[in-house]
């Protein structure tokens, strides 16, 4: 496998078709991490670290939660920069404070009001958070599952997990596949597929914390963000959508239709939505949400690194979380801490609480149907944008 990865690396170096080439393969993390130091056993299953590489981008993944552990891309000077926050050891993720760094979340990403929903005349009760709602599948979510590795190559890995009927409270025996792949266009593609033998609800996403200036580099408030969304779903005090879809033009701090610094409006006074979320923690309704083709969802630019991340997705919404509850409790891979707003999440998804909101796009998955969605993370630099 190492030989294949090395040959691909040599190929990309000499074709001259890629941007930001570096002489050496990116090192991750600063003091190194290998599979032996990351390996652990959780619930009787082996957890390992896996590496994908295409000559420019290096991705580090774990089968615990089908998790994105690190992502190294070249900055505006060609220096490899790890832009995903992660923890030093595999066992560190098996804690309440570490479990949501980089995993796939589901079977229902985000929140469900009252931790229950009705489907086909039956009520399904889920594990609650603070006795008020369910979030990311709770303690039985797929972020806590040790997935199987279905296939592996130098640039692609496919994970598999099987959830039994009523596991976590959700109906159906479900089979879920998630693939991570690197392309020649400097993209990381995450593909999701799922089937069920009983009508259920399904909403999968990735919960990586990004800092495009580099892990542990400080606040994300200077990052420039554009969301291709003309509306968002307002929330109540528990951050559950009220059912309303509000144009962002009617709530100016939520207007990211053009690039602006995340910190510009985050402290706006007398804004109930920002008060409820302690900042941004909201689902944005993508402009092309009624169509199933791959559409532009977001653009994020690191103000210091010049790294640009464009997100494309099949999903109707994207959750933007500005790291409002981060508090420095966790040590990161490079020895830094997960300080307040030192990372952000951009999660392509269906809307939160859709099972209880008939007007929202449906998340129902029936036997014989294939749940399939794709999200693409394309990387470039500000210099390349300026040349377009």
Length of the chain equals: 388
**Structure tokens belonging to residue 9:** 């690396």
Please confirm, yes or no, whether 207 is among the known catalytic residues: yes
Catalytic residue, candidates 223, 314, 315, 347 = 347
User: Within a domain: residue 262?
Assistant: yes
pLDDT computed for residue 21 by the predictor? 33
Please confirm, yes or no, whether 187 is among the known catalytic residues: no
Give the residue numbers spanning the domain of 268.
209-387
User: Within a domain: residue 101?
Assistant: no
Q: Considering its fold, how many domains does the chain have in total?
A: 1
Report the CATH number that the domain containing residue 340 is assigned in CATH: 2.70.98.10
Phi-psi category of residue 214: left, alpha or beta, with phi > 0 → left and psi -120 to 50 → alpha:
left
Backbone angles phi, psi at 359, to 5 degrees: -80, -15
Alpha helices, DSSP H, located in the chain: 2-15, 35-38, 272-277, 382-387
User: Within a domain: residue 360?
Assistant: yes
* Chain segment 316-325, per-residue pLDDT in tens: 999 999 999 9
CB 102 within 8 A of CB 71: no
DSSP-assigned letters across all residues of 38-50: H-EEETTEEE-EE
pLDDT computed for residue 288 by the predictor? 73
DSSP state of 155: S
Cα dihedral value 68, 73, 76, 77, nearest 10: 130
User: Within a domain: residue 19?
Assistant: no
**Structure tokens belonging to residue 34:** 């290998």
pTM for the model stands at 0.91
pLDDT computed for residue 34 by the predictor? 64
Q: Are strands 80-82 and 67-74 parallel, antiparallel or unpaired?
A: antiparallel
* Chain segment 113-164, per-residue pLDDT in tens: 999 999 999 999 998 887 789 999 988 899 999 999 999 999 999 999 999 9
Q: How far is CA 227 from the centre of its chain?
A: 15
User: Within a domain: residue 322?
Assistant: yes
Q: Tell me the CB-side half-sphere exposure of residue 251, using CA atoms within 13 A.
A: 21
Residues of the chain with pLDDT under 50: 1-32
Give the CA distances from residue 239 to residues 14, 130, 135, 231, 283, in Å, rounded to whole numbers and listed in that order.
Answer: 50, 13, 11, 16, 10
Catalytic residue, candidates 53, 207, 282, 350 = 207
User: Within a domain: residue 312?
Assistant: yes
Dihedral sign for Cα atoms in the order 96, 134, 347, 178: positive
Phi-psi category of residue 138: left, alpha or beta, with phi > 0 → left and psi -120 to 50 → alpha:
left
pLDDT computed for residue 387 by the predictor? 65
pLDDT computed for residue 102 by the predictor? 98
pLDDT computed for residue 357 by the predictor? 97
Task: Report the 3 state secondary structure along 210-253.
Answer: ECCCCCCCCCCCCCEEEECEEEEECECCCCCECCCCEEHHHCHH
User: Within a domain: residue 121?
Assistant: no
User: Within a domain: residue 147?
Assistant: no
């Amino acid at each position: 496998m190492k030989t294949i990865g090395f040959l691909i690396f040599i190929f990309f170096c000499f074709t001259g078709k890629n941007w930001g080439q570096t002489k050496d393969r990116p090192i991750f993390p600063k003091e190194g991490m290998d599979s032996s130091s990351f390996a652990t056993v959780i619930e009787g299953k082996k957890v390992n670290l896996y590496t994908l590489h295409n000559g420019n981008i290096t991705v580090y993944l774990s089968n615990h939660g089908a998790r994105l552990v690190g992502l190294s891309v070249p900055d505006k000077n060609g220096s490899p920069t790890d832009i995903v926050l992660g923890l030093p050891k595999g066992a560190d993720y098996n804690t309440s404070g570490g479990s949501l760094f980089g995993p796939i979340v589901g079977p229902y990403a985000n929140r469900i009001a009252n931790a229950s929903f009705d489907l086909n005349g039956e009520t399904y009760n889920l594990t609650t958070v603070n006795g008020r709602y369910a979030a990311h599948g709770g303690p039985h979510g797929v972020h806590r599952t040790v997935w199987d590795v279905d296939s592996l190559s130098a640039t692609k890995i496919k994970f598999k997990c099987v959830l039994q009927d009523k596991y976590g409270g959700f109906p159906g025996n479900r089979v879920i596949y998630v693939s991570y792949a690197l392309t020649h266009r400097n993209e990381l593609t995450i593909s999701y597929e799922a089937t069920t033998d009983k009508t259920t609800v399904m909403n999968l996403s990735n919960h990586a914390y990004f800092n495009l200036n580099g892990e542990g580099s400080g606040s994300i408030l200077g990052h420039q963000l554009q969301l291709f969304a003309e509306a968002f779903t307002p929330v109540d005090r528990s951050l559950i959508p009220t059912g309303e879809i509000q144009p962002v033009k009617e709530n100016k701090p939520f207007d990211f239709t053009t690039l602006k610094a995340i910190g510009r409006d985050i402290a706006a006074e007398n804004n109930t939505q920002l008060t409820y979320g302690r900042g941004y923690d909201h689902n944005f309704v993508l402009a092309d949400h009624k169509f199933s083709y791959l559409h532009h969802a977001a653009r994020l630019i690191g103000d210091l690194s010049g790294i640009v991340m464009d997100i494309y997705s099949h999903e109707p919404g994207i959750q933007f979380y500005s790291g409002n509850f981060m508090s420095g409790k966790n040590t990161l891979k490079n020895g830094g801490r997960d300080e307040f707003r030192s990372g952000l999440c951009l999660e392509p998804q269906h809307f939160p609480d859709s099972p209880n909101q008939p007007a929202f796009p449906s998340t129902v998955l029936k036997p014989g149907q294939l749940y399939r969605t794709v999200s693409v993370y394309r990387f470039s630099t500000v210099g390349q944008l300026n040349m377009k």
